[in-house]
Structure 1
Amino acid sequence: MIQKMTEEWLVKKRDGRVAPFDRSFIENALEKAFRAEQNLADGQPLDKDIKQDIATITDELLEEVAPLAQTPTGITVEKIQDFVEMGLMRHGHFRVARRYIVYRAEHAKIRALRPPVEIAEEEEPAQPSLHVTLDDGTRIPFDENRARRRIAEACRGLDAECSVDELLEEVMRSVYDGISRTEMYRAMILAARSRIERDPAYDTVAARLMLMVIHNETLGQHPGADDLERVYRHGFEHYIIDGVAAERLSTDVRQFDLQELGRALKPQRDHQFKYLGLQTIYDRYLLHIDGRRIETPQFFWMRVAMGLALGEGDDKTERAIEFYDVLSSFRFTSATPTLFNSATLHPQMSSCYLTTVSDDLDHIFKCVQDNAKLSKWAGGLGNDWTNIRATNSHIKGTNGQSQGVIPFLKVVNDTAVAVNQGGKRKGAVCSYLETWHLDLEEFLDLRKNTGDDRRRTHDMHTANWIPDLFMKRVREEGEWTLFSPNDVPDLHDLYGKAFEERYEHYERLADAGKIKLFRRVTAADLWRKMLTRLFETGHPWVTFKDPSNVRSPQDHAGVVHSSNLCTEILLNTSKDETAVCNLGSINLRRHVVDGKFDQELLADTIRVAMRMLDNVIDINFYPTEEAKNANHRHRPVGLGVMGFQDAVAAQGISYASEAAVEFADESMEAISYYAILASTELARERGTYSSYEGSKWDRGLLPIDTIDLLEEQRGMPVQVDRSSKLDWNLVRQAVKSHGMRNSNCMAIAPTATISTIIGVTQSIEPHYKHLFVKSNLSGEFTQVNVELVSELKERGLWCPDLLEALKYFDGALAEIPGLPEDIKARYQTAFEIDPHWLLECAARRQKWIDQGQSLNLYMQAPSGKKLSGMYFDAWEKGLKTTYYLRTLAATQVEKSTIDINKFGVQPRWMKNKSASSAIDVNFNREAKQPAVVSSGYAEGDACDPNNPDCEACQ
């Protein structure tokens, strides 16, 4: 039938003549190519299977060329030869195809050097106009149909939202001769990515295309659904072998039953990732050899699980599978250092290191060196510098005067920049100073953009470590005295009433002339300067010394002298102990099932998560002995949360509501309850931590009990609800019977990167915007609130005009006319929510937490009075720390390219609504990209939540 059809087909030769199509020319060309590759003489017979392949390739080619060959102008010789090449490769004859390509290229050169003559088609191949360059340098003809098939596969099931033709058309505009396969995939991904703002379904398309890139790189192919599990499991053992041989994986991974682990892999979970999550792990987390990724997403999760199960004895394979299931289902995620380094040759898996610097030159520079070592392996740093004597203090050894703490902080700043964690992220450190230190006012100016640059630290974070007495003096409009630590050596280790008594004693000594170096200021003026610098530069952060110490479970074993890089870790430090904390976060969204908070699922997640966190302590690579000693002695961990906003939305609740406050209370109570129980179970199995005796746990005091202690020390009430819903007698009895495995159990970290990986809102943050551009080390990415778009679609409201209005109003709904009020109420963004709700939720959490929380505060129209009131509110509610202050810029990013006037009198999303709701804003600006909103006024140094240089929250 095909042979009869070809009798009317035409071929256009190179000289312009049109001749009848002849099938034998194709078969002869294929036969010559095979003979050339196998070095056969003309008379030698070809293998029977090869003959069959030639016939099959020819039949397939006839089907493909039919539409062109039946036209009046016919199909060109070059196009036929393109199809021959693709047919050879489709059947796996890559060497033959390469020989055929070389043959065509040689004859193209010959034709360029001599006048054209008429030659037989099978002997005169011509170079096609577009080629793709393979990894080994081989050039093959570009196949538009292949690109279409890949895009169509990525759009499968999304036909109503995504256009294959549109995507292909955009990709074709990016294609050039010699384009690499990697660049082809990048073009397809970028085409999908640029349309995410139109419809979140394009995020799924981009994620599927990104997954093809990862699978091709790691597995050598992108297997179909039917073959995925077999290829995945077959590739897992090869991955382990290659990783160990290349010294990317520890040889200890050979201790596991690799076949059993391979069978436990769930390849379909690769599709849980959003595009940005896949791009992030590809760029920064998946292990690679010479730039080629060797891990798929599920290999990655299993590698992390294996690293955390290495100390589990004979049960390590079963435990690794248990850990893998919790990690890969997105119920819990370990912190970035664990994801980076688990099961590698340097398993530095701890997140935070806290040090106290002594007033001794040797120790100062030892701490700087320790910072470099700790930062090298992805640890975030918190340094307490309060011990260092102030400017103009006497130095006995040289009989000179000290330059104070500021020059040393400059060294710390430059060290953090120099050690960038292996190129994965910038080194980051936060320096703390107590509010009574004589160098405090210069400390407040460290982040300014003006002044002597030798006394500025533009890359280092700073925080005030504020005693309660200072807050009382501000309220009373009293005076405050600044001292040099060498004159008041015990203040550093005192807190509560003991601090107040001793501080007032030193003030009397200063008044009597017995302390020469001091300065007296108005407390309210100093407070005003602190808030002004915080507003202008984003620093120093406001953290509170007394609640951090009074409520610490380890008050018998030392003093909390500072928090960490992100203000959630509160552990004792000394010259001999560098505090260490291992972090991980529960995805609250995964624990809201069918609109209800599933505490049974949460309990199971926490049991496994606490075991993983505790295992880190024994497996961990410690860059310094002080870190190793402290972590083994006290065994603190920090179980936190992320996706709080998503969990609230999944229950139909607004963040700015009593219901959200109640959920913050309920969820944190449950986490505290089950985390403490899990630690007691580990203590029963493995024993208590070595400094347990004498701790608050040992004395029968749980975190909820310590609020009374804080009230007693302050002499004033702590304004927080004390109610509970669970039976805490069970927990008290478990602690009494078994003790605790971990000195500290809970801390809420920022989770900026790990929440990006699993695709939820970070930590306890409200929605920043519903449409914005997020920047990180992987690039810039449009982010859309998928849940909002889904609800708008269900109500028939989502349309291009509404998208443009959302851009115009900078990703917020409040000013968009005609949208239902219930949607606006439930989808308020961070700057629309009154800070009262953020503080109330935080206070309800804090009553259950034995450490702290990274609490960002947002203010849309800040003033000195509002800022002061907000931070006093935080203090009165018993919060231990706060983190960034984020304020809207005075002006927004300029908008371009959208003619908003096309909305007309009535927006499309308001069809069938009364005209009284019609849009009444004169849109005279235009918008192209979602606005990236700056976070600061004035000098503009305040942290932008999407600033890729801000690694404190990455």
Structure 2
Amino acid sequence: MLTTNTIQTVLKPNNRSLAFDVERITRYGERIMASYPHLDRERWYRGVLGKLRHSAVQAADITQASIMTALELVTKEEPDWKFVAARSLLTKLYKEAALHRNYKAYPDEPYGDFNKLIKKLVDIGVYRADLLEAYTPEQIRDLGEAINPTCDETFDYIGLLTLAERYLATDFENRTMELPQERYMIIAMYLMHREPAERRVELAKEAYWAMSNLYMTAATPTMANAGKKVAGQLSSCFIDTVDDSLEGIFDSNTDIARLSKMGGGIGVYLGKVRARGSDIRGHKNTSSGVIPWIRQLNNTAVSVDQLGTRKGAIAVYLDVFHKDILSFLDLKLNNGDERMRAHDIFHGVSFPDLYLEAVEQREEWHLFCPHQVKKIMGWKDAKGRALGLEDFYDEKQGAGEFREKYAEAVANPDLPRITLPAIDIMKRIMKSQLETGTPYMFYKDAANRANPNKGHGMIYCSNLCTEIFQNQSATVIEHEELVDKDGETRIIITKTPGDFVVCNLNSIHLARAVRANVLERLVPIQVRMLDNVIDINNIEVLQAQHTNRRYRAIGLGTFGLHHLLALEGIAWESEEAVTFNDNLYEHINYLAVKSSMGLAQEKGSYSRFKGSEWENGRYFEDRDYTTGNRPGKFVTTEQWQELAEAVRVNGMRNGWLMAVAPNGSTSIIAGSTASIDPVYELLSYEEKTTYKIANPAPDLSEKTIWYYKTAFRLDQNWSIRMASARQRHIDQGQSFNLYVRPDIRAVDFLNLHLHAWKAGMKSTYYVRSQALTVEECESCSS
């Protein structure tokens, strides 16, 4: 029997007070630890009482003591204390919601009236009125009854805390109103609210099933904003292509500012902008190059923050043959001329195969100004528009238009250039990566060869997190004119919209969904959710809205790969892991293609399906899906052949389907490992203002610990091999990090990059060193 001689009174939030009863804490402990009989209750009781040292304590203090005691007991040997802490936090949330919504929260029925919640939050302007317009009171009551409070028990403490602090709806006094399962149901209802009335409720329940069981997570913007009457939107990232004109540069900056304000992460391709020292309207040596424009973007990132919570996130890309590449690579270094630095920006480099061949063979490399190339070389497209080197790629490995045009440029004595050893640029790249984690690496030829919409455009770069690969083109201002109408004068600006890339993301929780054998049910509802985001979302930048609806691109991703491998007893550094990745991602891709084809039957194809690799069947042939005698672990050649024919006949709803994002915060909510990354530490720590929270690797046990070799101890070549096996099945890309030690030899570091390129990777994301901390992209957390 526990006793205490100190505490006499418990002060409740409704101005009531109760005599302190230690037996209440005992019963409370039994309830929150019921699923964990192996944990030492006596240690927890003593810890809680030891933190309550006054004669009168607030009820909230007891809850906090309960949480902190459980967190202090978390170790690699006893990781389940993190779930006990989560149960205490749940109790706190249940009581707060009940108090603010005026209902009683009983342990076995902690949720209140769902209909009343929606009405209340619509009335005060927190929820969108669409929810009440699309669903009848009876339907909302039905959906409320489908909410399963026991699903809250799947959260660990950090996951629940992250969900509560970042995503759950509050009133305008920041009081808890919405509970975890209500957030999932609201997202489901909102994403399905434009579906046919006869199927709307059924589809909302299916989306809720997927999210509430943590078989998947929605992207951060969707998690935070769906169903809410807020300024934010539902898409994660955008990519702009900047035109080589003063109007184009400033217009692009304005668009980027507007998207940053709405919470989007942005990639910017600057490879068309003329280099420093180039001519402007015939005046020689007058261009200041790309660096001043990047500094302007840096200021935009800092001054136009994301919904008032964090500075904007912008990545800029430049080609390795651009004349400004050397100063570009120094952008984030901490020494040198500060007028040539942009510390708040992220940067990436676009590489053709030919450059990396030159690095391997220690050959010279030539840098050109894109404006001078267009003016002197005179290359034109079918519509008579000037082309630069950036507008070509090698259609085959070792052969293609880029290397032909590059050779022509090198052979032209009238074309100015800078010539230097190719390896010297690579040395600068690796130096910057070890100091700052960037630049990102974008392998242009591989990306364009695998593009299912190559007949309609070109991919110049990736996004902020290097997982999005879609057609790009610059928006061009055609003309301005004064118009008098109804006694008023207007200035009409006419633009030709370019392909302004938008990515819409969600992700499969591999460790839960694969082991529960629910992929066949899960992927179709995920694809529908993503497709609906396209129609629901209202993007302020009209060319982005136009591109989003023209290609209807989505990014189905995954997280929890290392978690799944550990549960399956598969070592990261093994042929078994490589084969497992190959089979698993082929299966997911098959289900995604089938789902999008099914939606095309139901709702129609994306407008650019005709002329795509989907239509002509090359998408399937190039990946060896429909040819040869494949082993067919999950999908047979015959199944692929049938699907390819169905796609030809019925079309595809979405121009791109898969993209594996970093999944930082949402993988934390789901209690799993991030994205395709190995676990960082067996016991890591999340830092809060006054304390650290221990976070053991998921499902850490005597069995799984042997399969949780940590990131910096792993041979990165095995990680590259697994990524290569996956890449064939991912029509866009993957946020693939390299983990290196600070003392890595330069030749070994170079060989990792060459291995990634030769293995068919489209990009690499951060180079993570033990001595380096890098910022995550919040928007791409899915």
CA contact under 8 A between 1:550 and 1:706: conserved in structure 2?
no
CA contact under 8 A between 1:427 and 1:951: conserved in structure 2?
no
Equivalent residue, structure 2, for 1:316: 200
CA distances 1:545-592 after superposition (whole Å, capped 9, x unpaired): 111112111111111111011100001122223111111111111234
Equivalent residue, structure 1, for 2:738: 857
Equivalent-residue separation in structure 1 for 2:161 and 2:247 (angstroms): 44
Asked if 1:528 is matched to 2:427, the reply is: yes
Equivalent residue, structure 2, for 1:492: 390
Letter paired with 1:588: L
Equivalent residue, structure 2, for 1:503: 406
Structure 1's 418 and 191: CA in aligned 2 closer, same or farther, altered over 3 A? farther
Structure 1's 524 and 157: CA in aligned 2 closer, same or farther, altered over 3 A? closer
CA contact under 8 A between 1:342 and 1:349: conserved in structure 2?
yes
Structure 1's 580 and 203: CA in aligned 2 closer, same or farther, altered over 3 A? same
Asked if 1:639 is matched to 2:556, the reply is: yes
CA contact under 8 A between 2:464 and 2:777: conserved in structure 1?
no
CA contact under 8 A between 1:130 and 1:142: conserved in structure 2?
yes
Q: What are the equivalent positions in structure 2 for 1:339-378 lying under 5 Å apart?
A: 339-346=223-230, 348-378=233-263
CA distances 1:747-794 after superposition (whole Å, capped 9, x unpaired): 1111111111111111111121111213489974211135333538xx
CA distances 1:487-539 after superposition (whole Å, capped 9, x unpaired): 12322221112121112212222xx2x123x2111001111221122122211
Structure 1's 349 and 743: CA in aligned 2 closer, same or farther, altered over 3 A? same
Equivalent residue, structure 2, for 1:305: 188
Equivalent residue, structure 2, for 1:841: 722
Structure 1's 162 and 949: CA in aligned 2 closer, same or farther, altered over 3 A? farther
Letter paired with 1:504: A
CA contact under 8 A between 1:354 and 1:563: conserved in structure 2?
yes
Structure 1's 542 and 400: CA in aligned 2 closer, same or farther, altered over 3 A? closer
Asked if 1:539 is matched to 2:438, the reply is: yes
Return the offset for 1:418. Answer: 3.0
Equivalent residue, structure 2, for 1:789: 701
Equivalent residue, structure 2, for 1:102: none
Equivalent-residue separation in structure 1 for 2:363 and 2:152 (angstroms): 60
Equivalent-residue separation in structure 1 for 2:630 and 2:692 (angstroms): 44
Q: What are the equivalent positions in structure 2 for 1:138-287 lying under 5 Å apart?
A: 146-164=24-42, 166-173=44-51, 175-176=53-54, 180-197=58-75, 199-220=78-99, 223-226=105-108, 228=109, 232=111, 234-254=112-132, 255-256=134-135, 257-287=139-169
* Secondary structure of residue in 2 paired with 1:188: helix
Return the offset for 1:672. Answer: 0.9
Equivalent-residue separation in structure 2 for 1:204 and 1:416 (angstroms): 38
CA contact under 8 A between 1:639 and 1:748: conserved in structure 2?
yes
Q: What are the equivalent positions in structure 2 for 1:457-476 lying under 5 Å apart?
A: 457-476=342-361
Return the offset for 1:224. Answer: 3.8
Equivalent-residue separation in structure 2 for 1:438 and 1:791 (angstroms): 54
Letter paired with 2:409: Y
Equivalent-residue separation in structure 2 for 1:152 and 1:410 (angstroms): 58
**TM-score with structure 2 setting the length:** 0.87
Return the offset for 1:362. Answer: 2.5
Shifted more, 321-330 versus 403-412: the winner is 403-412
CA contact under 8 A between 1:219 and 1:235: conserved in structure 2?
no
Structure 1's 621 and 951: CA in aligned 2 closer, same or farther, altered over 3 A? closer
Letter paired with 2:297: V
Equivalent residue, structure 2, for 1:609: 526
Shifted more, 441-450 versus 196-205: the winner is 196-205
Letter paired with 2:350: W
CA contact under 8 A between 2:79 and 2:700: conserved in structure 1?
no
Structure 1's 265 and 185: CA in aligned 2 closer, same or farther, altered over 3 A? same
Equivalent-residue separation in structure 2 for 1:239 and 1:667 (angstroms): 41
Letter paired with 1:579: V
Asked if 1:586 is matched to 2:485, the reply is: no
Return the offset for 1:192. Answer: 1.3
Return the offset for 1:736. Answer: 1.3
Equivalent residue, structure 1, for 2:660: 748
Equivalent residue for 2:608, pick from 667, 676, 691: 691
Return the offset for 1:607. Answer: 1.1
Asked if 1:445 is matched to 2:367, the reply is: no
CA distances 1:772-824 after superposition (whole Å, capped 9, x unpaired): 213489974211135333538xxxxxxxxxxxxxxxxxxxxxxxxxxxxxx64
Equivalent residue for 2:213, pick from 284, 305, 329: 329
* Secondary structure of residue in 2 paired with 1:463: strand
Equivalent residue, structure 2, for 1:87: none
Count of equivalent residues? 721
Equivalent residue, structure 1, for 2:499: 577
Equivalent-residue separation in structure 2 for 1:464 and 1:627 (angstroms): 23
Return the offset for 1:145. Answer: 5.1
* Secondary structure of residue in 1 paired with 2:442: strand
Equivalent-residue separation in structure 1 for 2:280 and 2:53 (angstroms): 70
Higher relative contact order (CA 8 A, sep 6+): 2
Equivalent-residue separation in structure 1 for 2:74 and 2:228 (angstroms): 36
CA contact under 8 A between 2:48 and 2:62: conserved in structure 1?
no
Return the offset for 1:375. Answer: 2.1
Structure 1's 549 and 192: CA in aligned 2 closer, same or farther, altered over 3 A? same
CA distances 1:862-887 after superposition (whole Å, capped 9, x unpaired): 11111111111111111100111123
CA contact under 8 A between 1:613 and 1:637: conserved in structure 2?
yes
CA contact under 8 A between 1:151 and 1:164: conserved in structure 2?
no
CA distances 1:250-298 after superposition (whole Å, capped 9, x unpaired): 1010122111101111111111111111000111000111111211110
Equivalent residue, structure 1, for 2:618: 701
Equivalent-residue separation in structure 2 for 1:953 and 1:471 (angstroms): 31
CA contact under 8 A between 2:373 and 2:415: conserved in structure 1?
no
Letter paired with 1:843: S
Shifted more, 675-684 versus 391-400: the winner is 391-400
* Secondary structure of residue in 2 paired with 1:421: coil
Equivalent residue, structure 2, for 1:926: none
Equivalent residue, structure 2, for 1:911: none
* Secondary structure of residue in 1 paired with 2:161: helix
* Secondary structure of residue in 1 paired with 2:590: helix
Equivalent-residue separation in structure 1 for 2:753 and 2:729 (angstroms): 21
Letter paired with 2:321: W
CA distances 1:585-638 after superposition (whole Å, capped 9, x unpaired): 1111123438xxx3xx21211111111111110011212101100000000001
Asked if 1:651 is matched to 2:568, the reply is: yes
Structure 1's 138 and 443: CA in aligned 2 closer, same or farther, altered over 3 A? farther
CA contact under 8 A between 1:479 and 1:522: conserved in structure 2?
yes
Equivalent residue, structure 2, for 1:932: none
Structure 1's 504 and 418: CA in aligned 2 closer, same or farther, altered over 3 A? same
* Secondary structure of residue in 1 paired with 2:183: helix
CA contact under 8 A between 2:664 and 2:778: conserved in structure 1?
no
* Secondary structure of residue in 2 paired with 1:293: coil
Equivalent residue for 2:679, pick from 767, 771, 775: 767
Letter paired with 1:300: R
**TM-score with structure 1 setting the length:** 0.72
Letter paired with 1:437: H
Letter paired with 1:789: S
Equivalent-residue separation in structure 2 for 1:738 and 1:352 (angstroms): 29
Equivalent-residue separation in structure 2 for 1:206 and 1:771 (angstroms): 16
* Secondary structure of residue in 2 paired with 1:302: helix
Equivalent residue for 1:732, pick from 628, 633, 644: 644
CA contact under 8 A between 2:258 and 2:540: conserved in structure 1?
yes
CA contact under 8 A between 1:357 and 1:388: conserved in structure 2?
yes
Structure 1's 137 and 378: CA in aligned 2 closer, same or farther, altered over 3 A? farther
Equivalent-residue separation in structure 2 for 1:324 and 1:950 (angstroms): 23
* Secondary structure of residue in 2 paired with 1:333: strand
Return the offset for 1:477. Answer: 1.4
